[in-house]
Amino acid sequence: MYAAPPRRPPADAPHVAWRMPKPLRFTARAFAEALFASDDGPPDAARLDWLLEEVEDFLARSGFRAQAVFQASMLALATTAPLTIGKPVPLPLLDWRERIHAIERFERTPLGLAVLGAKAMLCLVWYEHPEAAKEIGFDGRCLDAGHAWSSVIERGAQR
Amino acid sequence: MPYESGRDHAGDLRLSCDVVVVGSGAAGATVATELALSGARVLVLEEGARVDAAEHGAMRPSESLRHVWRDGGFSVAAGIGDSPTINVTMGRVVGGSSMVTGGVCFRTPDHVLDTWVREHGLHGYAPRAMAPYFDEVEKHLHVETVTPDRWSRSTHLFDAGLRKKGVALDSLRRNTKGCHGCGRCNFGCPEQAKMSVDLSYLPRAAAKGATIFSHCRVEKVRLKGRRAIGVEGRVLNGPNGRPGGKLVVDARRVVIAGSAWVTPTILRRSGIKHDVLGKKLTLHPGFRMMARFDEEVEGWKGAMQSAFSDAFEERGLTLVSVFIPVSVIGATMPGIGPDHVNNARRMKHVAMFGGMIHDEGGGTVMRGPGGEPFVTYRMSRRDRARMPDIVRLLGETFLDAGAKEIFPPVLGLERGLTPDAFRAFDFERLPARRYECSSQHPLGSARIGSDPRASVCDPDGRVWDAEELYVVDGSVLPTSLGVNPQESIMAVATKLAWTMRDRPYA
């Protein structure tokens, strides 16, 4: 089992406290469950918990515009994506297989850019987890020892 | 103290100096350093934080995005009509976008400078006249050629494909010293090998008495009649890093170096009105192409950017190598669920190369919610036709190198395209909104020129009809360049700073 990587904000960074609204967190989790589902099914809950905490910090620090992009993307996904497969219910209420189908269909509509916005933000964080990095074959060795990402992966692997 | 943080000052902040420079990026740092060296009391105001090399190295890419990049890397120029919506990335940190570039350095091509002379009346910008400024910048930035042993396997594969078209890649020049090619230049160099302006310029300014303030947002220029007498804004010392105390600066000269993205909004708020202010923004719309090979590529091993080709300049296209961190690549892997996961798991086999369009100015910077810039982009018909051209060129080059699957920059694909499917794909009829497009080079929204009706600033960077108010950043460049602009911006900033240095205060 790999350890979740720590956060190391610069000394000059402000302290921020912003919580993701519950409906937004609910939709983001449902989207992430579908996005990162493998042939074995959705990823485990602990990885999703870590992902959402990191995304929350990301949004808190990235400011109004990033929050607006993410919230608008999630709103569009939650309300419109299910309609593309003829299911008039919010996205999180669909089975994860149906969610995948709905998101794929939605991505090809004129509102499809919303999928890229949401997907980009989640993937940026997801693939930094040592376990995800290992799954895609990234060993962090391109970074000299002592630098955060490689050392985080090495430390995680030793546990 | 040469470096101060607005966060360390409770309440309001009032400062005075000879020259206040708004922005600490490539242009702001250059002009601040040159003026400090001439004896002026210089104050640099930066909206973002100050992050040192050890802190850059300690952060994961997504942490860097949240602390170092404007809008967490999610700034967009909204596409108008049949134009793509473009993700525009910029730094918001002491050192500005020089902290997040790949370090690529090009002199402005002679044919571009000739256009400036011929069409914009900028006679002091002819290639021979600009040479000393490029020399000066290159001396301080330590510009060197990337040796082929720093090329990633991904770049070598693209080169192999290109050679089948009778063209070879050339090595890029970058501002580096002792680079080991760890491939994360755009998330702040952890080894101080990229000579960004926080290393190459600002320390020299600080040594000559300049003060660099982080967490200070300038909102407008203070004008007395036509004359600039300082700036005002907010110190970002409120809760959650939000605007807190009032910031007021008294200065004899004001230099705006906030970038082509931000500068027009500051000028407009200051009461500067001009028909072309905020208009004709160019972006160099960029496209990345990914291709899967049978062999393990591990494209992250090598310099993030190392080679280029200008062989297609006549078609308005420049090809530049790039390999972004895997977490960012993951975000562009097609598919949802198992399709996405299976694509991502083959990332070791993926090569990547990029290209950009030498565009006509189709962008407009307006004032958006909260006073932040809101930018739209209407692509010209000429540039619109270049999008399928560049995507085909990049993909076919990889196919010539033996790629088995192509991941074009197209939204809504569930999986990569086989060689036959790629060749048959109708890119020409694909709506522009489905192209995945990005930019790192906003330029030209407050251009210089000799005609006051067609330009915001005179050839010396002075805002027409104002005194002691200068613009010195990418927004003054009158056209796009077709190459990465960092060195051009710094050379122009050096030229304008030297002119300013020799001019007495009003």
Phi-psi region of B11 (alpha: psi -120 to 50; beta: other; left: phi over 0): left
- Residue A159 pLDDT > 60: no
pLDDT, residue A141, reads 56
The closest alpha carbon to B22, from B262, B358, B274, belongs to B262
pLDDT, residue A2, reads 58
pLDDT, residue A140, reads 65
**Cβ separation of A11 and B55 shorter than 8 Å?**
yes
Same domain membership, residue B220 and residue B133: yes
- Evaluate whether residue B71 is within a structural domain: no
Which residues, at least 6 apart from B435, have a Cβ–Cβ distance to it below 8 Å?
B84, B287, B387, B391, B409, B410, B411
Residue B359: both structure tokens together: 């565009």
Residue B196: both structure tokens together: 């960004």
d(CA B199, CA B197): 5
Searching chain A, which residue's CA lies closest to the CA of residue B298?
A138
How far from B313 is each of A72, B238, B359, B391, B408, CA to CA, in Å?
Answer: 38, 49, 11, 15, 21
Q: Could you give phi then psi for residue B463, rounded to 5 degrees?
A: -65, 130
- Evaluate whether residue B241 is within a structural domain: yes
Domain count, chain B: 2
Same domain membership, residue B257 and residue B210: yes
Cα B84 versus chain centre, distance: 19
Same domain membership, residue B292 and residue B265: no
pLDDT tens digits for range A90-115: 999 999 999 999 999 998 888 888 89
How far is the alpha carbon of A77 from chain B, nearest alpha carbon, in Å? 13
- Evaluate whether residue B65 is within a structural domain: no
Of B415, B439, B463, which residue constitutes the final position of a domain? B439
The closest alpha carbon to B390, from B342, B438, B324, B349, belongs to B438
Residue B415: both structure tokens together: 């999986």
Same domain membership, residue B377 and residue B314: yes
Same domain membership, residue B326 and residue B410: yes
- Evaluate whether residue A5 is within a structural domain: no
Say which of A17, A96, A137 has its CB closest to residue B240. A17
Mutation target among A77, A149, A150 for the B interface, most CBs of B within 10 A: A149
- Evaluate whether residue A17 is within a structural domain: no
Same domain membership, residue B235 and residue B204: yes
**Cβ separation of B72 and A62 shorter than 8 Å?**
yes
d(CA B472, CA B460): 9
- Evaluate whether residue B87 is within a structural domain: no
How far is the alpha carbon of A105 from chain B, nearest alpha carbon, in Å? 8
Same domain membership, residue B261 and residue B135: yes
Same domain membership, residue A101 and residue A30: yes
- Evaluate whether residue B96 is within a structural domain: no
- Residue B394 pLDDT > 80: yes
Same domain membership, residue B218 and residue B329: no
- Evaluate whether residue A111 is within a structural domain: yes
**Cβ separation of B61 and A126 shorter than 8 Å?**
no
d(CA B47, CA B266): 13
- Evaluate whether residue B262 is within a structural domain: yes
Q: Looking at residue B74, what DSSP letter applies?
A: -
**Cβ separation of B433 and A107 shorter than 8 Å?**
no
Say which of A9, A17, A34 has its CB closest to residue B337. A34
Mean pLDDT estimate for chain B: 95
Residues from chain A that touch B345, judged by Cβ atoms under 8 A, are: 135-137
- Residue B179 pLDDT > 90: no
Same domain membership, residue B254 and residue B297: no
- Name the residue range of residue A144's domain: 129-159
The ipTM is: 0.90
pLDDT tens digits for range B454-473: 999 999 999 998 999 999 99
Cβ under 8 Å to A: B residues 153-182: 180-182
Residues from chain B that touch A151, judged by Cβ atoms under 8 A, are: none
Other CB atoms closer than 10 Å to residue A4's CB: what's the count?
Answer: 18
Same domain membership, residue A76 and residue A36: yes
Of B399, B420, B439, which residue constitutes the final position of a domain? B439
Same domain membership, residue A56 and residue A109: yes
**Cβ separation of B327 and A123 shorter than 8 Å?**
yes
- Evaluate whether residue B133 is within a structural domain: yes
pLDDT, residue B180, reads 79
Searching chain A, which residue's CA lies closest to the CA of residue B328?
A124
Torsion of CA B230, B234, B236, B239, to 10 degrees: 160
pLDDT tens digits for range A120-157: 999 999 998 888 888 888 876 554 334 444 444 444 44
pLDDT, residue B245, reads 97
- Residue A38 pLDDT > 80: yes
- Name the residue range of residue B451's domain: 3-49+104-144+191-273+446-501
Say which of A12, A126, A141 has its CB closest to residue B49. A12
Same domain membership, residue B380 and residue B493: no
Confidence of residue B506 (pLDDT cuts 50, 70, 90): confident
Same domain membership, residue A99 and residue A55: yes
Same domain membership, residue A94 and residue A33: yes
Active site residue B274: no
pLDDT, residue A111, reads 87
pLDDT, residue A125, reads 93
Same domain membership, residue A106 and residue A136: no
Q: DSSP letters of B112-159? A: HHHHHHHHH--GGGSHHHHHHHHHHHHHHHTEEEPPGGGS-HHHHHHH
Give the CATH number, domain containing residue B151.
3.30.410
**Cβ separation of B300 and A113 shorter than 8 Å?**
no
Mutation target among A127, A128, A141 for the B interface, most CBs of B within 10 A: A127
How far from B266 is each of A82, B4, B159, CA to CA, in Å?
Answer: 43, 23, 44
- Evaluate whether residue B16 is within a structural domain: yes
B347 part of contact set with chain A, CB < 8 Å: yes
Q: DSSP letters of B225-268? A: TTEEEEEEEEES-SGGG---SEEEEEEEEEEE-S-TTTHHHHHH
pLDDT tens digits for range B242-266: 999 999 999 999 999 999 999 999 9
Same domain membership, residue B264 and residue B351: no
pLDDT, residue A148, reads 45
Same domain membership, residue A151 and residue A81: no
Domain count, chain A: 2
B367 part of contact set with chain A, CB < 8 Å: no
pLDDT, residue A156, reads 40
Q: What is the mean pLDDT of residues B273-298?
A: 96
Same domain membership, residue A107 and residue A48: yes
Q: Say what the pTM is.
A: 0.94
- Residue B487 pLDDT > 50: yes
- Residue B483 pLDDT > 60: yes
pLDDT tens digits for range B144-168: 999 888 899 999 999 999 999 999 9
Same domain membership, residue B195 and residue B314: no
Give the CATH number, domain containing residue B137.
3.50.50.60
Residues from chain B that touch A57, judged by Cβ atoms under 8 A, are: 66
